[in-house]
Structure 1
Amino acid sequence: MSSAYDIDNNGYLDAHDFQCLALRTCVLEGKGDCSSSRLQKYQHIMLSLWEEIAQLADFDKDGIVTVDEFKKAVQNSCIGKRYEDFPQAMKAFIETNFRMIDINCDGIIGIEEYRYDCVQRMVVDDIKAIDDAFNSLLNDDDRRKGGIALSRYQELFAQFLSDQSEDCPAKLLFGPLEL
């Protein structure tokens, strides 16, 4: 999971990744526009988020969070817990992720947005695999809404982090598993 936020692909998380994430979020939310006021807002949010994550996960206090440190922090603060009980930094992390996937900003991640997110992060040679993964995440309420709302995304993300079972439906939250 942390690799999605390792924006500069150097193998670990640090303050630079969150500066880049602020810019990315600003541009995506603005559909290409990046006003200085919105950028400043996201820089503040992401700096606070980095500081919280560093406090939770930078165990050796070297200014970077390795994948192992991040996994350990997730285990310590999320496994076996409900979304409401997650640290504020993890909640902000999850909500930011939702906003980046919800391209049309309608409050629902539809199949097109899920597809777009998947193909940006993974190599998939069959759209059916993506569509099947998306459809397996949906409950009846999601189908009525036309996709996954923020509250449902939070619930699925919490399951993704905390439910280690093979049959956990949330395991497909970020796309089809290795084909």
Structure 2
Amino acid sequence: MAYSWDNRVDFIVKFLYDIDNNGVVDQHDFECMALKMTLIEGRGEFHYNRYQENLHIMISLWEEIAELADLNKDGIVTNEEFKRAVQMSCVGRPYREFPQAMKMFIDSHFKLVDLNDDGVIAADEFRYNCVTRIPVDNVDILDESYQHLLNDDDRRRGGITLSRYQELYAQFLGNPDENCPAVHLFGPLHELC
């Protein structure tokens, strides 16, 4: 069940959106995410203009998520509300049909993973991204996850390009099949309670 659609969406909420770990998603999480992205991109240096761009992306994403998911308009999105929104706007859809702010988030996240900014997520960058988020005690399971993601074109290019990452992310959220390669996009998942 670690790769079930429900668990994958739970993972997104817990490890990508609920930055302050309070169990719900709200605007504060996205403000924190903007700063986090800016500092990671700058490798610790703070670039005000880039922060403003990231803040715009993150607040736009929050507003879009709140519009789709915060049905009672209380300023927070629960896990269940988020799942309903993803079900309505992502399941069965390709990346190009995702909400605009979500696409901006996906593209920004690619930049965070592509540490050397060469346009390709290589195995070492994938490993680094995974261990910053999940507990792992064996590099081999990270490498196995990475290999599951790759198709022949990825192998020829030496990794995952932005367009391939967009496709995989769309499948991670939008394909309920537990056996699709995209379930490995964030490394080996564990069942969340």
Q: TM-score, normalised by structure 1?
A: 0.95
Taking the aligned partners of 2:105 and 2:64, their CA distance within structure 1 comes to: 10
**Which residue of the partner structure matches residue 18 of structure 1?**
30
- 1:134-177 Cα shifts (integer Å, max 9, x gaps): 01110111111111111001101111112112321111111023
**Which residue of the partner structure matches residue 70 of structure 2?**
58
Give structure 2 stretches of 5+ with no counterpart.
1-11
Structure 1 residue 105 corresponds to structure 2 residue 117: yes
Structure 1 residue 43 corresponds to structure 2 residue 55: yes
**Which residue of the partner structure matches residue 83 of structure 2?**
71
Taking the aligned partners of 1:62 and 1:10, their CA distance within structure 2 comes to: 15
**Which residue of the partner structure matches residue 134 of structure 1?**
146
Specify the code of the residue in structure 2 equivalent to 1:126: N
**Which residue of the partner structure matches residue 45 of structure 2?**
33
- The count of corresponding residues between Structure 1 and Structure 2 is 179
TM alignment of 1:80-159, pairs within 5 A: 80-159=92-171
Over the matched positions of the two proteins, sequence identity in percent amounts to 57
If asked which structure has higher relative contact order (CA below 8 Å, sep 6+), I would say 2
Taking the aligned partners of 1:84 and 1:44, their CA distance within structure 2 comes to: 20
Structure 1 residue 5 corresponds to structure 2 residue 12: no
Taking the aligned partners of 2:37 and 2:178, their CA distance within structure 1 comes to: 32
Taking the aligned partners of 2:137 and 2:47, their CA distance within structure 1 comes to: 37
- 1:69-124 Cα shifts (integer Å, max 9, x gaps): 11111001010111111111221221122122111221111111110111111111
Q: Secondary structure at the match of 1:121?
A: coil
Taking the aligned partners of 1:121 and 1:96, their CA distance within structure 2 comes to: 17
Taking the aligned partners of 1:94 and 1:115, their CA distance within structure 2 comes to: 18
Q: Secondary structure at the match of 1:174?
A: coil
Q: Secondary structure at the match of 2:132?
A: helix
State the superposition RMSD in angstroms. Answer: 1.4
TM alignment of 1:168-179, pairs within 5 A: 168-178=180-190
Query: Any runs of at least 4 consecutive aligned residues in structure 1 with deviations exceeding 2 A, and if so which?
Result: none
Q: Secondary structure at the match of 1:124?
A: coil
Taking the aligned partners of 2:88 and 2:110, their CA distance within structure 1 comes to: 23
Deviation at 1:35, TM superposition (A): 1.7
Q: TM-score, normalised by structure 2?
A: 0.88
Q: Is the 8 A contact 2:121 2:161 kept in 1?
A: yes
